[in-house]
Chains A and B, each alone.
Chain A
């Protein structure tokens, strides 16, 4: 009798914990979803990305390649491609 009680109790404890956990997860998911769904939030995040891109691109330098550099770069690209896809 006692064993049956124990197993029932354990089952109910686990079931209640599981239901509670799922409910909490669902609630949190809803909160997050509502939060990131707002257009302002989406645009803010996108603007942040764009600013990061601008900063990144403004630090670049493009250098002119000599003939040898060009050839070496091309050889490397073609060799690498051959090696991986031959």
Chain B
């Protein structure tokens, strides 16, 4: 005690020294941990990342739609360079704009579909989907017992949407307002029937489900960063580089049409489709959403989606809803068309029909 009193300055110096040493040690320990951490991360990855520079540039990239033409060009060049190096083949990334005066619609004939899943495989191939670990498929074929279908032809012309002075709210009144004219329940549907199963089974309907390209898409409303939006052709697209992977859109989609990349997609070099579009089939990365885009890399060039071309029975029809003479408009006008009951307010542009 007396010593302390006698030499207070000495004691202060000791405390200072101790603190300095402590801080120095903490600093050294932190830096060592940092270096070790980075070292272990580098050591655990096989080779050093060859396109680290590109990755960094992409990290600071903005929303594609809001970019200047010059920035878009640079972004496309970066991606082409990366994909060409990664997949060992010359890869193009198009940014072809949506077509003028076109609103895409799709119709699928349930009576014709045989459940062969050729559409699924064509889609996987065209759109560079992950082959395994995880398997990602944008189209899912439901196998539904025929007993789930009911139909009453005499009610087909009854009932009408009510119009009031306040506006048309689409309220169904009249003959079949409370007892639907017919329908198809998906209860007991099998979504993952075996790949080697003989199809079609005469006791079942096959209903492929993919993104319905809603005119009022709930997924777009749910996206907190507007990474997903509807393009001029009515197709809901995703800027994969802007997507933050929060999966809100997946929760919002009433059709289960969106897929999340839990891991780095597994796309073999030899199977990669090198003709890609920025918003379409370019290879995705881990942690982002993906979904059907009606093959916009094809449709923006006036071609049909791959699933339609692969269908061996012609169950799929695609066209412009703005053209009254198109196949799709004629189907809607003349065939028996189904809609998903719970989803009227989303206004899907994917229709199911029979006849």
Contact = CB atoms under 8 A, between A and B. Distances in A.
A42 B259 CA distance: 13
Interface string A31-69: 001101101011101100110111011111111111111
Contacts of B322: 78, 81
A60 B337 contact: no
A41 B209 CA distance: 26
A63 B339 contact: yes
A58 B186 contact: yes
B349 A42 contact: no
B314 interface: no
Contact of A36 (B189, B215, B262): B262
Contacts of B216: 80
B341 A73 contact: no
Contacts of B191: 50, 53-54, 57-58
A82 B332 CA distance: 19
Given A27-B37, A57-B189, A64 B19 contact: no
DSSP majority for the A interface?
helix
B97 interface: no
B192 interface: yes
A72 to B, nearest CB: 5
Contacts of B182: 63-64
A74 to B, nearest CB: 6
Interface in B158-212: 158-161, 168, 170, 172, 176, 180-189, 191-192, 207, 209
Contacts of B176: 66
Contacts of A64: 151, 156, 180-183, 336-338
Q: Which of A5, A46, A56, A66 neighbours the largest number of chain B CB atoms within 10 Å of its CB?
A: A66
Interface residues of B, number: 78
Nearest to B209: A57
Contact of B183 (A49, A62, A67): A62
A58 B183 contact: no
Nearest to A45: B262
B37 A26 contact: yes
B263 interface: yes
Given A49-B259, A81-B103, A68 B159 contact: yes
B232 interface: yes
Contacts of A81: 103, 215, 234, 321-322
Contact of B38 (A26, A65, A68): A26
B339 A58 contact: no
A60 B186 contact: yes
A79 B1 CA distance: 90
Contacts of B103: 77-78, 81
B184 A53 contact: no
A68 B263 CA distance: 46
B237 to A, nearest CB: 14
